[in-house]
Chains A and B, each alone.
Chain A
Amino acid sequence: MTRYLLGSFQASERRWIVVAALVLLPVFFLPVLPVWTMKLWAPQYPEGLQLTIYAHTIKGDLDNINTLNHYVGMHKITPDDFDEFRYMPQLLTFFGVMALLAALVNRRWLAVLGWLGFTAFAVYMFRDYANWLYHYGHDLDPRAALKLEAFTPPLIGYKQMANFKVWSLPGPGTLLLGFAWLLGPIVFWIERRAERQSAESVAKTVGVPA
């Protein structure tokens, strides 16, 4: 294992690392691919209201949603409130650069380190998102016209909240990031298999057990 980690890449492995890097480099998805979408329907909003979260901002029917939310005393949602939008693109770029660097200097341990960092980052972001949702649903203005029981909007999936039906789903950006993340274990597994097979074939020719 240690030998493996300190080793350099096979050609195919290296190609996959570059693919992961390109996916992570925000140039490819930041302006266009949302990382998360939330859609809300109410009887008087059959067309639905949409919140679209990108790595760098939040878009959609913000004004309408804020206007409606003020009845229950929710915080106003504005892109300026989120430090995440300031560091998320940079961090994604950082992980992309790290993967490229790993491919460039041809060191496996760098790729593994990057992957572990990226995993930690992903876990943190999910936690963070969940905290935000909790915050918006719990920290309600006591003077609001409509008193609601505290609630948490869905992180993923469906929930009925007051007169709204809410669907929350990852966007194409997150799916791509997930794909880049999965490349780590996949490549690792492919490589290990290849090594085992070559070790077996060596053992066969030499005539010693592998």
Chain B
Amino acid sequence: MKRKIGLALLAIAILAWAVASGCTRMAGGAGGSAAQKTYVKPGEHDTHYAFLSGGHSGQVFVYGLPSCRYITTIPVFTPEPAKGYGYDEESKAMLGGFTWGDAHHPGLSETNGNFDGRWLFINDMPHARIARIDLKDFTTREIYGPIPNISAAHACPYPTPNTEYVFAASRFSAPVPTNKVAKVEDYVKDFKGVIAGIKVSSEGRMSMGFEILMPPFHWDLSDAGKGPSHGWQFFTCYNSEMAHDTLEVKASQAEMDYVAAVDWRAAQKAVDEGKADMIGGAPVLNPEKVKGIVYLVPTPKSPHGMDVNPTGEYICASGKLQAEVSVFSFKKLMAAIDAKKFEKEIMGVPVLAYDDVLEAKVPVGLGPLHTEFDGKGFAYTSLFLDSQVAKWKVGTWEVVDKIDVYYSIGHLSVAEGATMNPTGEYLLALDKLSKDRYLPVGPSHPEGAQLIDLRGNKMELLYDFPTYPEPHYGQIISASKIKPLKIYPLSENKNPHAIKSAEEARVERKGKRVDAYMVAVRTHFTPDVIRVAAGDTVYFHVTNLEQDIDITHGFGILNSNIDMQVEPGETKTVKWVATAAGITPFYCSNFCSALHQEMQGYLEVAAAGTRIAGVQRPPKKQVEEVAALLRRR
């Protein structure tokens, strides 16, 4: 008997071992439990990047999917000492004096309607700015704006299928130009909405294309037409009531608000033909005078989400105070425009008939906010009030599945779901509230997100994770499309202040301006003693000579607001004013090596007016010693 039990136990053990060993699999493989589907083995990589906007943190958060691991933060509109962003002269200038932004909508650059992995655009709503992040190094390289005449760019940036344009539209209507003195009660007469098309060059540089004067509604979200609808940009709005106070009541009365359809080629042509008025430094088109550039389609009840399906045929608007998604047909829209079948004009903008353009109404549920698509002909709509995601079929317009999320979902993101070819494996639900989902941390709760598997017929909740305030929207891209640099090649460093060896290190002064040309390499700065006088303005130009992966050097000055992070092969410049005489140490603030603690130096500040040599070089002997402390035969 005992022997039998022993044998049975052995059999169970063998079976358990077989099952366990049979479960070793690639990251995010289909089949298995939710835990297995999100488990990425130590040392392995995720298959997708998720770029989540950081809301009023002003940043972008990067996550790996399916593991939902936080990877990094890309500082965009807010200074970030961890990466030295907003401290060195270049990034400080880019921030333009603002220390916060409200980053809502990441928009990955596209080629032929597909994510190409070059850049990520993101808007700063309150300051009407658009940033461009280079995905070669996950670093913000350009901040365009504030865009003139736009009060808060919410419907932004929403790149077109070949990244010809990114867009902005005013969430708050205001007088144009914005410095015009006006009374709020003259809202209808004096206030205007504005839509702006910002051109993007092949290098990614942004420049003003055109602006269109719109009725003073609140312009909400946008999406680019693609395929047959390429060349059009669509916008939702609320407050077509044109209320200027107690908006929650007064802007929610009308049964219909609008979707605006902008023919951006026609708008650009009109500007190029000189039909625009220059207002606030931007070429503004007035639909009262210039026809054929913009149309309005009535849309039920304060629509929020504005989403064109992958084939570019259907334009879906989510009426957030209605339980339906209104689907418009681009064909019908064109037919109505060609037939000039307009119900009326609002401030020069022709209004089409709802029924002429409508294809279907999809009864998704309460509080529909945003829709994205997979590659199999399904659409997914977030339901704020129901705290759910609804899955529905494009074409038959049936709702086929629903799943609970936690709680109060805003935007959602399907893998490459905003493109012409969504990969559609995963959906990320971005929730406004998390309440009880995670370890409690007091009244300021984290936001929450859920990873949902879309590979089966039914949606499956895989993972639930907290996020730092406050992701509004995210975009998910296949990891294979992004090939970031590992280091900056020193040979390609063209910074005018770069020096490439300790022999070139020096401190130069002209009047009260001092330029220190420094190198950082494991584990010293050259020079490491710098003499200045009180009242001098010192520019430290630090080049990190490393060409080894992940060997960042910091440059922090004690009792100051100065800290830079210089990546391998990079040169950065920071300004410091020597206010008082005395000794001020500086040090490497990024742990770099075994002798990191020794990587430091002193700023010797003499009394104001002390005569100091025009050029200081570190002692020759020291340079020889530290020429990477490497002796030659």
Contacts and interface: CB of A to CB of B under 8 A. Distances in A.
Contacts of B522: 67, 70
A78 B632 contact: yes
A141 interface: yes
B630 A66 contact: yes
Contact of B630 (A61, A64, A69, A146): A69
A75 B548 contact: no
Interface string A54-76: 00000001011011011101011
Contacts of B5: none
A149 interface: no
Interface string B430-468: 000000000000000000000000000000000000000
B547 interface: yes
B18 interface: no
A64 B633 contact: no
A172 B629 CA distance: 34
Chain A contact residues: helix, strand, loop or mixed: loop
Given A67-B521, A67-B546, A81 B633 contact: yes
Nearest to B628: A70
Contacts of A78: 632
Contact of B548 (A67, A71, A145, A146): A67
B548 A76 contact: no
A76 B547 contact: no
Interface string B544-559: 0011110000000000
A63 B594 CA distance: 17
Contacts of A146: 594
A70 B594 contact: no
Contacts of B630: 66, 69-70, 75-76
Interface in B589-612: 593-595
Chain B contact residues: helix, strand, loop or mixed: loop
Contacts of A67: 521-522, 546, 548, 628
B595 A71 contact: yes
Contacts of A141: 629, 631
A75 B632 contact: yes
B631 A71 contact: no
Interface string B620-633: 00000000111111
Nearest to B594: A71
B551 to A, nearest CB: 8
Interface residues of A, number: 18
A63 B551 CA distance: 13
B507 to A, nearest CB: 25
Contacts of A145: 594-595
Contact of A66 (B549, B593, B594, B628): B628
Nearest to A77: B630
B629 A81 contact: no
A76 B594 contact: no
Contacts of A47: 549
B208 to A, nearest CB: 45
A137 B16 CA distance: 52
A146 to B, nearest CB: 8
Contacts of B593: 71
B631 A63 contact: no
Contacts of A71: 593-595
Nearest to A76: B630
A53 B629 CA distance: 24
B595 A76 contact: no
Contacts of B633: 75, 81
A78 B627 CA distance: 13
Interface in B549-603: 549, 593-595
B595 A63 contact: no
A145 B524 CA distance: 13
Interface in A112-151: 141, 144-146
Contacts of B628: 66-67, 70, 76
Contact of B631 (A61, A64, A75): A75
Interface string B486-516: 0000000000000000000000000000000
B328 to A, nearest CB: 52
A69 B549 CA distance: 16
A70 B631 CA distance: 9
Contacts of A76: 628, 630-632
A202 B628 CA distance: 74
A81 B546 contact: no
Nearest to A144: B629
Contacts of B595: 71, 145
B37 to A, nearest CB: 26
Nearest to A75: B631
A63 B632 contact: no
A67 B549 CA distance: 13
Contacts of A69: 630
B547 A64 contact: yes
A141 B624 CA distance: 14
Nearest to B490: A63
A45 to B, nearest CB: 9
Nearest to B486: A47
Contacts of B547: 63-64
Nearest to B522: A67
Nearest to A63: B547
Contacts of A144: 629
Nearest to A78: B632
Contacts of B546: 67
A145 B598 CA distance: 11
A82 B325 CA distance: 75
A60 to B, nearest CB: 12
Nearest to B630: A76
Nearest to B593: A71
Nearest to B549: A47
Interface string B157-180: 000000000000000000000000
Contacts of B632: 75-76, 78, 81
Nearest to A81: B633
- Of A64, A73, A78, the most chain B CB neighbours within 10 A belong to A64
Contacts of A64: 547-548
Interface string A26-70: 000000000000000000000100000000000001011011011
A53 to B, nearest CB: 17
Nearest to B595: A145
A13 to B, nearest CB: 45
Interface string B281-309: 00000000000000000000000000000
Nearest to A67: B522
A47 B549 CA distance: 10
B548 A70 contact: no
A67 B524 CA distance: 12
A76 B521 CA distance: 15
A66 B547 CA distance: 11
Nearest to A44: B550
A63 B630 CA distance: 11
Nearest to A74: B630
Interface of B: 521-522, 546-549, 593-595, 628-633
Given A63-B548, A67-B521, 17 more contacts: A66-B630, A67-B546, A67-B548, A70-B629, A71-B593, A71-B594, A71-B595, A73-B631, A75-B632, A75-B633, A76-B630, A76-B632, A78-B632, A141-B629, A141-B631, A145-B595, A146-B594
Closest 3 CB pairs of A and B: A76-B630, A70-B629, A64-B548
28 contacts: A47-B549, A61-B548, A63-B548, A64-B547, A64-B548, A66-B628, A67-B521, A67-B548, A69-B630, A70-B628, A70-B629, A70-B630, A71-B593, A71-B594, A71-B595, A73-B631, A75-B630, A75-B631, A75-B632, A75-B633, A76-B628, A76-B630, A76-B632, A81-B632, A81-B633, A141-B631, A144-B629, A145-B595
